[in-house]
Amino acid sequence: MGALLLVTHGCKEFLTVEPLDRLTGNNFYQSRDDVEAALANMYSLFFGKLSESWVIGSVGEARTGEMRASPEHSDVNRKKVVEVLGKNQLLLARNTSLYNDLYHFEYISDWRDYYKVIQSAGILIDKLQEGIPGLSTTETDRYIAESTFLRCFTYFWMVRLYGDVVYYTDSYHANPLPREDMVSVINKCIEDLAPHKDKIPWTYGDVALRGARASRGSVIALLMHMNMWNAGFDLSHRESYYRQTAALGQEIVTQGPYRLLPMTDEGWAEVTKGRSEESVFEFYRSINYGDNVSLIAAFGDHFLRWPYKHPRQDNFYSQCYYTAEYMERLFPAGESDDRKDIWFENMLADNGLFTARKFGLNVYAGDNESTNPDNTYMIFRFADVILLWAEALAEISENDKAIEALNRVRSRAGAAPYQGGTGGPLKDAIFLERNREMFGEGHRYFDLIRTRRILNAAWTAWPLNLDQFNRRAWTWPIDRSALVNNPRMVLNEYWLPGGGGS
């Protein structure tokens, strides 16, 4: 893979500081401000990938098959792309102009900006290890930990998207490399990141950085997610992954500064606004800082209507909805759960009256402005970590602790404590709770993959068969630009002509 050139993205605040060119070598890395600018560019590059398309909805949610285009909406034909994605017809979605002229799925296939983050992190780590004037040993260690987190997080994100990826950590990599087995990549990332866990603080003096800047909690959450991903594929070592996740979960739950905010309109609006005590890692965005993102980038855009989405005359109906069958499975009739009322309106409508107000409580625009609510991009939050911890505990038969963790999330939601059995029923209950709690946050499809529930029609409207799963039908197509200057590179076979994808 050829050497990568970095670009900048304009915005405001830490995520969006306008940095200098950090590929100028020793002339650039001369101060703490230079380090901050380099880190800002990494966050900004990744933020740009989240902002250019409906990536969270497309890759983490829609492919499970429960979404439908609202027949009442004026743009129903283009919104039927959610049904195409739900049947895993990624090539049809990407190659049909009706859909792709709006959604630009080719951006999701293009991994070059991810590698710019990876290379930028490697260069900064090298410079920090060489020594930068004015930084103490503690500060240097913290910056190395943060850079390593961003590199490993990017690899983790890419693995879930593409499966096997090209892996390297040297700064100015130029020699062509083949794609490496994803389990190996994740194990290398765990080995790379784990030694830095205690060298980065839980919190910063400036509360405006809470969640928006990587912390010890962010590192722990990523290590937990990486271990749980590998547990689904490296079956002979799965107990070791579960035990590592359980230990990490114990640490963040008992020692971390996080808490579950009240399940009220006000409490949940604080979570989705960002920088809350529930945020473990996020890409913060705010209209107050002029953050300019595509209208379709926000997950909630498809599932909100007036008065949560403007302008009024164009948004009498939500663009899409989740089927009543699926929503009833999440929230059975007769079972108390505050999330039903706080997060949804017309939850069982089976039409454009369905509203996911979970993403609509930070409305800031006037009736004539075509805008979305002022929400951040939540990546890891405390409820996610608790439930991942519960899942790992159940897998190693620490059932009492698993149930206690599960009930922490259910209690916040006003739901009854879990009363079922251990073993399979408990594991299923925790998985279903993740489906409820993490609704629309980009986790569901990946949870189905790593637990192999994607093979079971009881858990998804569009299951894969074992042959499709083994041939990586769950991946996303990789753009052909990845082949340039790399004769050792191959694309995802399932999405090539004759590979079975459609």
pLDDT digits (tens, 9 = 90+) for 239-250: 999 999 999 999
- Written as one letter, the residue type at 22 is R
Residues in a beta bridge with 355 = 345
Domain limits, the chain? 201-281+377-463, 299-374
Residues in a beta bridge with 279 = 381
What is residue 236's three-state secondary structure? Answer: helix
E strands present in 198-318: 279-283
Mean pLDDT of 323-339: 97
What is residue 463's three-state secondary structure? Answer: coil
Strand pairing category for 67-69 and 320-322: antiparallel
When the pLDDT of each residue in the chain is averaged and rounded to a whole number, the result is 92
For residue range 39-95, what is the model confidence (pLDDT) as tens digits?
999 999 999 999 999 999 999 999 999 999 999 999 999 999 999 999 999 999 999
C-alpha to C-alpha distances, 63 to 57, 60, 143, 341, 349, nearest whole angstrom: 9, 7, 37, 26, 21
**Rg of the chain over CA atoms, in angstroms?**
22
Q: Alpha-carbon distance 492 to 158, whole Å?
A: 13
Mean pLDDT of 273-281: 97
Q: How far apart are the first and last CA of the chain?
A: 28
Tokens, residue 423? 């073993």
- Written as one letter, the residue type at 353 is L
Residues in a beta bridge with 180 = 165
Write down the pTM of the prediction. 0.94
What is residue 68's three-state secondary structure? Answer: strand
* H-only helix segments in 314-357: 324-330, 338-343
Q: Are 383 and 412 in contact (CB under 8 A)?
A: yes
Q: Report the CATH fold assignment for 201-281+377-463.
A: 1.25.40
Task: List, as one string, the DSSP characters of 177-229.
Answer: ---B-HHHHHHHHHHHHGGGGGGS-S--SSGGGTTTS--HHHHHHHHHHHHHH
